[in-house]
Chains A and B, each alone.
Chain A
Amino acid sequence: MQMGLDALPAASYALPVLVSLLTVRFFYVLWRSGQPSSRPRVAGLRCLIVLGSGGHTAEMMNIVTMLQKNRFTPRYYVAALTDNMSLQKAQVYEQSLVQSGGKKTVKNAHFTQICRSREVGQSYITSIATTLLATLHAMWLVIRIRPKVIFCNGPGTCFPLCVSAFLLKVLGLGWSSIFYIESIARVKKLSLSGLLLYKLRIADQFFVQWPQLQQKYPRACYAGRLM
């Protein structure tokens, strides 16, 4: 039909242009991530804090307690569906802030659960399907929350979230600065999440807690130990 014939040449122009734009945008985002902010900042930043089982939450809470609360607010805590303890710990902490500050109820903190990409011991093959599902859920969370800052330290749940945030940056739908702090239990080798985020240059700043790791991964930052 007439309309169909006209649409085809239009598409054959539009598609390469779109791909080129996205490619340029992609490399711009890669370059711009990792560049410290040039403008001084005053207001509060909405943040996404990824919690994980084992030592992850303890280390992350060490960071959160040190953050200036007026700069990093509101705080969205995310933990895996099967992780019962982590959100509880965060809730206890946020509650303590309310009580000591003499303020209103916990308004600046939110607690959400996310599908896990991979359970401990799960086969790598089925993990591909669950990771895809987790990624979709992650995308939805990041679109809904639109964090300006993301804090994560290694649980599998953080990878889909960081990738989603990065994708949104490329699509120009929001900008989150991603801070990754590798767990203190990683002395000689990075975790899988850490290695992926390091190699793909998705994190704006990548911290390690042992000097040996900083030597092995020179783009990483060694800023002491959290524990």
Chain B
Amino acid sequence: MGGRERRMVFVTVGTTCFDALVKAVDSEEVKEALLHKGYTELLVQMGRGTYIPSKVSANSALQVDYFTFSQSIADYIREASLVISHAGSGSIFETLRLGKPLIVVVNEDLMDNHQSELAEELADRKHLLCARPQTLQETVKAMDLNNLLPYMPGDAKQVVTRINKFLGFPDD
């Protein structure tokens, strides 16, 4: 297998079809950029997409594999050194909760793109990097993952406390 430490990049599009992202990730430029940054493997969860990446298992190049769906992608996220995800809130927060560096790629073909609001806000707060399929290569080249800040997950405590108070339940 070689003596390289395994550093896997996990790409996920959730339940959507996001061919532009899969194509971008499968391009020579992006694979080159990832290899240059020390990644050894690329695993693509392609969802309902129609574009199929080419599998690669040669030792010196970036290994590439793919699948369509999985019951839970948590294990893949845990194994990954970098996650590249579509802008769905589920994928975003699952990755942030597991403490993995994340590049969110916004799908510009979606009509109502409210998803980009969330990605941009979290990028402004330095919890992740934001890119478009066309800018993925330069984002990977320029990224310094040490600049990312960990995201503190929230919970429903405050909301539930207010609801209880409103309904007249005694304080716990």
Contacts and interface: CB of A to CB of B under 8 A. Distances in A.
Give 7 closest A-B pairs by Cβ, nearest first.
A37-B168, A225-B154, A223-B158, A41-B168, A55-B89, A66-B156, A187-B117
B5 interface: no
Interface stretch (B39-47, B51-59, B99-107, B159-167): B159-167
Contacts of A223: 158-159, 161-162
A67 B155 contact: no
Contacts of A133: none
A220 to B, nearest CB: 12
A185 interface: yes
- Secondary structure at chain A's binding surface: helix, strand, loop or mixed? loop
Interface residues of B, number: 31
Contacts of A225: 154
Interface in A17-36: 36
B157 interface: yes
A226 B1 CA distance: 43
A63 interface: yes
Contact of A40 (B97, B114, B170): B170
Interface stretch (A2-10, A97-105, A111-119, A175-183): A175-183
Contacts of A167: none
B3 interface: no
A37 B166 contact: yes
Nearest to A37: B168
Interface of B: 88-90, 93, 97, 111, 114-115, 117-118, 120-121, 153-170, 172
Contacts of B89: 54-55, 183-185, 227
A185 B168 contact: no
B152 to A, nearest CB: 9
Contact of A38 (B155, B159, B168): B168
B150 to A, nearest CB: 15
16 contacts: A39-B168, A55-B89, A66-B155, A66-B159, A66-B160, A68-B169, A149-B167, A184-B89, A185-B117, A188-B121, A189-B114, A189-B117, A207-B162, A224-B155, A225-B154, A227-B97
A55 B118 CA distance: 12
A45 interface: yes
A191 B115 CA distance: 11
Contacts of A149: 167
Contact of B155 (A39, A62, A68): A62
Contacts of A185: 89, 114-115, 117-118
B88 A54 contact: yes
Contacts of B157: 66, 224
Nearest to B168: A37
A187 B118 contact: yes
A58 B90 contact: yes
A162 B64 CA distance: 48
